[in-house]
Amino acid sequence: MATRKELLQTISLIGMPGAGKSTVGVILAKLTGLRFVDTDVDIQVREGATLQEIIEKEGHLRLRAIEQEVLLAIDLDRAIISTGGSVIYSEPAIRRLQSAGPLVYLEAGLSTLEERVAAAPLRGIACPASQTYADVYAERTPLYRRHADITVDAAAGCADDVAAEILRLLRGPS
């Protein structure tokens, strides 16, 4: 696996809720010796509320604004960043993440993601109440693809396999 000297940069994980950004991110942090930052957790700690509570009290656009504020303020140095799914709507946040290191899109099919999200309801997905998960998927997928430096199949094996594939792709040809 990668040593600390091979990856001394920041790696940001982007993708839909349920793609495995937090799970894969923890594994990547252990494999690389980089810090792990989960922006959803940072938002909840900062606001003293879950993502779902923020949406219910202040609306999905406020959650997106808070997410942008957090991403523009956090220390990105030598970290694995697990972003919220709606980070893709914030050009300033995306630019900052890109300047720190590669953006890795954890891609999975709609049915896989729906199964994963159904297992953990009330995730606090920052979207209008009128949108279904499929609507959000259709809207965000082209944005993730456009901004990603690397795309990895998040449903190809377990989280350890996905993390190993990310490292393989980041290291490039042997």
Given this model, what pLDDT does residue 139 score?
94
Dist. CA 9–CA 93, nearest whole Å = 17
Number of CB atoms found within 10 A of residue 27's CB: 21
Q: pTM for this structure?
A: 0.91
Q: What pLDDT tens digit does each residue of the chain (174 aa) get?
A: 444 444 458 999 999 999 999 999 999 999 999 999 999 999 999 999 999 899 999 999 999 999 999 999 999 999 999 999 899 999 999 999 999 999 999 999 999 998 888 766 656 677 777 888 899 999 999 999 999 999 999 999 999 999 999 999 998 765
Given this model, what pLDDT does residue 119 score?
67
| Orientation angle between helical segments 39-47 and 51-58, nearest 10 degrees | 60
Q: Tell me phi and psi for residue 166, to 5 degrees.
A: -60, -45
Structural domains of the chain, with CATH:
11-168 (3.40.50.300)
Query: Cβ distance 31 to 167 under 8 Å?
Result: yes
Nearest to 108 by CA among 79, 166, 151: 151
Give the up-direction half-sphere exposure of residue 169: CA atoms within 13 A in the CB hemisphere.
19
Question: By three-state DSSP, how is residue 128 classified?
Answer: coil
